[in-house]
Amino acid sequence: MTETTSPQAPPPASPLPEIARLTLRELIVVLKHGLDDFRAAPQFGLFFSAVYVLGGFFMVWLSAGHVTWVLATSLGFPLAAPFAAVGLYEVSRRREADLPLVWSEILGVVWAERTRQVPWIGAVIVIYFLFWTFLAHMVFALMMGLTTLTNISSSFDVFLTGDGLKMVAVELVLGAILALLLFALTVVSLPLVLEKEVDFVSAMILSVQAFKQNAFVMLIWAVVIASLTLVAMIPWFLGLMIVLPVLGHATWHLYRRVLYDTQ
């Protein structure tokens, strides 16, 4: 008599945590903790930021002048980028739990995420990126009219016209709105799906709710991230090697403060 084995049931979903109220002082605290994590284990921060930065440089070089490669890399890079953040979150999680920082275990967690919820969040980022690309091209075509026939790769004078300046302003406003919405969707959803068995839709909804309940503090945090990233990009993107891991670690600590378990 043969025994039939039923497929292993997926792990039960974790209860969703509660949302706490944040203060501006906590942003200073999480940045300090992020810097402490980076100083305590700089090899991990430098590794994951190098993967992100060098991967971006390689994809830009690979796609230069090739429309097919532009599409392929545009789809691939946003899908892979969340895994770099997962590595930084895992380092912070292990330091917080006083667990050893072992390369094989940390990279193993990053690898294991490929079958969980992180790729779905990456897919949402890709779709978001494609939508923004389409919208930006549509705004350019609608507002610039016949000037779209100008070769903007060799002359930027068209952007200094009245229509050009209006178009740039509209693009900036739309880009800021869409970037803020993506920030709200992902600010705590990525660390949440790493730590708990929560589906990505519920995690994103909870992330938006956390953003709404702490709107002012979250807006300041978004400005801090954008400002530090912009400054870090000036010296040939080299500043990102430090800024990205510090912000990644700090985001984990922000997540731990804004969401808490009731059990």
Classify residue 156: in a domain, yes or no.
yes
R_g of the chain computed on alpha carbons: 21
| 229: amino acid identity, one letter | T
Classify residue 54: in a domain, yes or no.
yes
Q: How far apart are CA 55 and CA 49, in angstroms?
A: 10
What does the pLDDT look like over 24-44, one tens digit per residue? 999 999 999 999 999 999 999
Q: What is the pTM assigned to this prediction?
A: 0.79
What does the pLDDT look like over 112-140, one tens digit per residue? 888 888 888 888 888 888 888 788 778 87
The mean per-residue pLDDT over the stretch 139-143 comes to 78
Q: In this predicted structure, what is the pLDDT of residue 147?
A: 56
Contact 19, 209 (CB under 8 A): yes
Q: How far apart are CA 4 and CA 9, in angstroms?
A: 15
Q: Domain total for the chain?
A: 1
Q: Which of 1-5, 109-113, 172-176, 178-182 has the lowest mean pLDDT?
A: 1-5
Domain residues for 151?
Answer: 18-260
Classify residue 9: in a domain, yes or no.
no
Q: How far apart are CA 69 and CA 64, in angstroms?
A: 8
Classify residue 2: in a domain, yes or no.
no
Provide the 10 A C-beta neighbour count for residue 221: 25
Nearest Cα to 130, choosing from 72, 53, 43? 72
Q: Which of 62-66, 67-71, 122-126, 152-156 has the lowest mean pLDDT?
A: 67-71
As given in the structure block, the two tokens for residue 53 are 């930065």
